[in-house]
Structures are given as structure tokens and as C-alpha cells.
Amino acid sequence: MESIKFENSCIESISETLQLLSGKWTFLVITELLKESQRFNQLRRNLGNVNTKGLTDTLRNLENHQMIKRQVFPTVPVSVEYSITPKGEAFLKVFNEINLWKTKWDSPDVI
């Protein structure tokens, strides 16, 4: 088998990306926001058993990485809506590739 070598910068980039996605709710929040923009409580309902702190931490982390956008509306009471950014939307390609990889290698015929 031919040896495949990665540049250190490539390994670091992939490692950082996997760390970003490794949060318990991260993938599910991204997939929910790929469907439509949502408010906090709507997201919480759609995700099921996520607790408030877990969702808040996940949203902050994704916002800090510019994967999602937090928009505050000056209503009474204040409304906050979360939406996917183009950077976050680009992950759809990555998710599709992961799915293709899993489908291919999960087959009992593949050794």
C-alpha cells in the first residue's frame, strides 16, 4: 500500500475542524439551522433533550467560529434568531462526503 503523507498544516486544520464539530450538539444545531433560521426555544424544542446551558454554549462556539449568525431584533421582549452563515452552509458538502464515505465503508462487502 502506498504511504500517504499529510502536511503538518493539513493535520492541524483537520484537527481544529474535528474539535469544532465534536461538541455534543454542534452537528445537530448546524443541521437544524441548515433547514431554516430559528429562535433559541424553537431550536431547543427541535433538538429534544438539550439543556439550556449546552445549547447556549454550542451556539456561542458556532458564532465565535462564524458558522452561525446571531441576530437581535429590538422588540419587546427582545427576539434573537440564529441562522447559518455561508461558512456554515459550506459544511453541507463535508457532511455529504462523510455520508458517502460511511455508506461505502459500512457495506459488508468492503474489506
How many residues in the chain? 111
Cell of 66: 462564524
Cα–Cα distance measured from residue 107 to residue 111, given in angstroms and rounded to the nearest whole number: 9
Mean local confidence (pLDDT), 37-64: 95
Q: Nearest to residue 32, comparing CAs of 67, 74, 73? A: 67
* Positive/negative CA dihedral, 37, 41, 42, 47: positive
pLDDT of residue 82: 98
Residues 59-77: tens digit of each pLDDT: 999 999 999 999 999 999 9
Q: What is the pTM of this model?
A: 0.83
Domains of the chain and any CATH numbers: 24-105 (1.10.10.10)
pLDDT average, residue stretch 90-106: 92
Q: Place 23 in a pLDDT band, splitting at 50, 70 and 90.
A: confident
Question: How many CA atoms lie less than 13 Å away from 86 in the CB half-sphere?
Answer: 0
